[in-house]
A and B are shown apart, each in its own frame.
Chain A
Amino acid sequence: MGEGTPVVCLHGLLLGSVASWYFTVAPALADAHEVWMVDLRGHGRSGRPATGYDLGTLRGDLVEVLDALGLSGPVDLVGHSYGALVALTFAMAHPERVGRLVLVELPLPGDQATPLEVLGLEGVAPGASSDELVGMLPADLKAAVLGGGRRARRLLEGLRALTEDTTLLADVSGEPALDEATVRAVSQPTLLVYGEDSACRGSGEQLHAWLANSTHQLLPGGHFLPAQSPQPLAEAIAGFLHG
């Protein structure tokens, strides 16, 4: 979408897809950027392999996507939640390929609120019941699911398949804490955006302390900012990337 310097958007796990960005943030960026949105493995219209939901494998997927798109020069990466972790660690592993970083609601592994806690999945084991899966959903989606129908059925099917048929939960909970010195070495201009009511605000404050070249911003909402605060989020990201 759009024309200009390339921006690649990475969604969060389980509930995310290119739709997290498509009608929310991407149109505001498309005035000045060529916006690419990626469905991570297992999500949206990408295939759902049984394994490979760890950060290393997802970074490898991103390398393949960027190569396939012919994006060999630096791109700006925008990530939400686990997608933001992919973006940050991608910048750590391939600094020459990243221009700027926008990290929305990045949950630091090993922080007080682990990625699973942030997703409300701490108690959800592989093979979780549909009641448990519904219990973790944000309020608007929970209402939709409890209302039944095709969309609810497909959402639950997707969640059940990701949590039962793949190693996603184990991969996410197995991620070690990031190495502070390696994070500190990230020199790209970075925007950190967190929800005022989010459980992972602490991660944002920690990252702000580690990243010398970072700006930290709080927006109304919780963890699911692209859905909860689309307009303010779009303005914050566009302001940072256009500036």
Chain B
Amino acid sequence: MSREQTLRTLAGFIAEVLDDELDDDLDIDEDTSFSDDLELESIEFVALAELVQSHYGDHVDFVGWISNLELDAIIGLSVGDVVDFIERSVEAG
């Protein structure tokens, strides 16, 4: 699976979670910040995690990964960070 594909998949999940609220002018790329750019609510981040988890299965332990990050790290997460994590997990799995 290519990195670009993973980014597209993730961007699709983000659009699904934000529904019609996604700013048309905002292109989701690896530098997009979940907190600053997307302003995802905690409940939306849960919905995103559920989508990621059900798509990639148990060997991509997204929830476990997030739960081990410090709050500051979670707030600073970019889309690229999550792509990195998914790529690492898929390779390892």
Q: Which residues of A line the B interface, CB within 8 A?
A: 1, 17-19, 22-24, 26-28, 44-45, 149-151, 154-155
Contacts and interface: CB of A to CB of B under 8 A. Distances in A.
Contacts of B40: 151
Contacts of A22: 46, 49, 63
Interface residues of B, number: 15
Interface of B: 21, 39-43, 45-47, 49, 63-64, 66-67, 74
B67 A24 contact: yes
Contacts, number: 39
Contacts of B41: 19, 151, 154-155
Contacts of A19: 41-43, 45-46
Given A18-B46, A150-B21, A23 B67 contact: yes
B27 to A, nearest CB: 17
Contacts of B21: 150
Given A22-B63, A45-B47, 4 more contacts: A17-B43, A18-B43, A151-B40, A151-B41
B15 to A, nearest CB: 15
A45 B67 contact: no
A57 B7 CA distance: 44
Contact of B63 (A1, A44, A154): A1
Contacts of A1: 63
19 contacts: A1-B63, A17-B43, A17-B46, A18-B43, A18-B46, A19-B41, A19-B42, A19-B45, A22-B46, A23-B49, A23-B63, A23-B66, A23-B74, A24-B67, A27-B64, A45-B43, A150-B39, A151-B40, A155-B41
